[in-house]
Amino acid sequence: MARVFGLKRFRFYENGVVGLNLPISEQVVGTRATRTTHPQVVSGFAELFSLVTEESFAVENPFLWLTKAGVVDLIGDAGCSHLIQHSVSCMHTHEQTVDQPHCGRCSQCVSRRFGTLASRYPLSDPDNLYRVELLTGERLKEKDFTLVESFIRFATDIGSMNVSQVVERYGEVGRVLRHIPGLSADEVAERIGELHRRHSREVTRVLDEAIGVYATEIRERRLPLTCAIMLAVSGSHPEGTQPESSDNQTPSRSNGDSRRTKKPSGAATSEPSSRGRRADVEGNVKIADVLKSFGNDWRKHLAEVCEALEHKATFIRTRKWKQLGCGDWSDVLAADQEGLVKALQHRLDWVAKHPGAGV
């Protein structure tokens, strides 16, 4: 096609983590084994097209050294963040509906959701478009929660590896080293290490922030054991060793496949427990009330929002904010504005999903 238009170059766009697609675990390699945008394939295409056209033909992926969050930031910075919610990368096309185009369970959905949450434009990818919400949604099938757990473990582990450890651990890296035009093998290895450390920072930051926001729910065991937050905190339990759960949140292995994931049943749909919950509900409702009083523009008035929160709502002590030395809302405003917006939005979302809360 490019040839018809007299072009000598073909470009496609895939973030490097998915393009390189290092195996995140042996169990899920089959579901994530696509190598269609792998540099070796790309350079093979370039060679093939050059032979066919009898002149030098380039095939390029300009996003090779970007993470998913990096791509989302690029789109947002170009003034196109409103387009993000109209894009779909879900592999389970047969499950798509107009209201919920993302299954939330496949590797593309998990990677996309971590990417948008880690980006500077998390609100451009509304969580109600996902059939199973990443952070708090329950996953009933073992392959689904194994995927999320492996994704998290991969991101966590690779973040602390140096380049030689990455090359040693992932032999696949060797297949990339000679296929990036203009870069030496050492330079390619360095970039692969740096790309994955960035990926690690992004994924773990999303989880650390969520763990802070849902600290009470985690302590009170009100989140499904197979949501990303709980998988990050404790991992899944090997067959037969999972603790009995009184509120039936542990996935049933015997009839797991016969149960349908119609909608996520996170804390949102679990039965209210008697003690402890009230304080948290009150906290969420108070925060939401303050935000609502500022209307949809609350993000533009963060200083006033914090001022109002000081008077009306208990301060949320997340681990991150403690580490930053924040003692009240205005400290957070100064130290972690982005985290503040996300945390407040989480509470607002929680109240929206619990119309009866606080009544």
Q: Which residues here bind Zn ion, judged by CB under 5 A?
A: 90, 92, 103, 106, 109
Nearer to Zn ion, 68 or 320 (CB): 68
Distances (CA, A) of 109 to 64, 101, 133, 307: 19, 10, 10, 37
- Residues forming a β-bridge with 58: 9
Nearer to Zn ion, 1 or 33 (CB): 33
Q: Distance (Å, rounded) from C-alpha 111 to C-alpha 194? A: 18
Nearer to Zn ion, 42 or 103 (CB): 103
Residue whose entry in the numeric block shows the structure tokens 């945008």: 37
3-state secondary structure 311-325: HHCCCCCCHHHHHCC
Nearer to Zn ion, 167 or 228 (CB): 228
Nearer to Zn ion, 40 or 96 (CB): 96
CB of 81 to Zn ion, least distance (A): 21
- In degrees, to the nearest 5, what angle opens at C-alpha 251 toward C-alphas 248 and 253? 125
CB of 100 to Zn ion, least distance (A): 10
CB of 199 to Zn ion, least distance (A): 19
CB of 277 to Zn ion, least distance (A): 32
- In this structure, are residues 41 and 90 in contact, taking their beta carbons and an 8 Å threshold? no
CB of 35 to Zn ion, least distance (A): 19
Distances (CA, A) of 238 to 29, 130, 235, 344: 19, 27, 9, 35
- In this structure, are residues 268 and 222 in contact, taking their beta carbons and an 8 Å threshold? no
Nearer to Zn ion, 147 or 333 (CB): 147
CB of 31 to Zn ion, least distance (A): 11
Nearer to Zn ion, 38 or 113 (CB): 113
CB of 223 to Zn ion, least distance (A): 21
Nearer to Zn ion, 227 or 309 (CB): 227
Q: Distance (Å, rounded) from C-alpha 12 to C-alpha 148? A: 27
Instruction: With H, G, I as helix, E, B as strand and everything else as coil, classify residue 9.
Output: strand
Q: Distance (Å, rounded) from C-alpha 15 to C-alpha 97? A: 26
Q: Distance (Å, rounded) from C-alpha 329 to C-alpha 343? A: 11
CB of 32 to Zn ion, least distance (A): 12
DSSP designation for 126 = -
Closest CA to 166 of 194, 201, 144: 194
